[in-house]
Amino acid sequence: MKRVWLMVLACLWSGYAASAEFDAVIPMWTKGAATYYVGGEIEGLGPVEFMVDTGSGYLAIGQETLEALQAKGEAQYVRDLTGVMADGSHRVVPVYRLSKVVIGRSCVFYDVEAAVFPGLSRNILGLSALKRASPFVFSVEPPRLVLSHCGDVQA
């Protein structure tokens, strides 16, 4: 009998542990060139689009976006980062902590690090944010991003 109860408890625990996995399904859309986008929000900026890039180590924003966030006290400097670009070149960029980033309508993260690139015209959803939603699924057919461990948007 003790063995049966242990099996039941193990099943219940595994269900509890998995309950936070894959709890947000976010539709993606394409703008051509095999790039996919999701909607979201950056605290102090409002609704934004993110290009999903699993090859990017950081969430990335442009200088203009940073200035708008700084004006509202929503971005704090963390450090400089030397990164290797897709073309192999090295670039030093500042990293800022964004107070709150929402991916889709149901996945919220606080204190997300973002690399800042001058002249960047689109926000990039990279691994500094995506790893917080691990495990995640990037699906092309149907186009959707499925995230885990999402916080409460109202928090």
Tell me the residue type at 103: I
pLDDT higher than 70, residue 4? no
Average pLDDT of the residues in 26-44: 91
Question: Domain containing 70 — which CATH number?
Answer: 2.40.70.10
If pLDDT is split at 50, 70 and 90, which confidence band does 20 have?
low
Q: How far is 36 from 53, CA to CA, in rounded Å?
A: 8
The range of the structural domain enclosing residue 62 comes to 22-147
The domain tally of the chain equals 1
What pairing do the DSSP bridges indicate for beta strands 143-147 and 90-103? Answer: unpaired
Tokens 């499925």 found at: 146
- Per residue in 57-74, pLDDT tens? 899 999 999 999 999 999
pLDDT higher than 50, residue 12? no
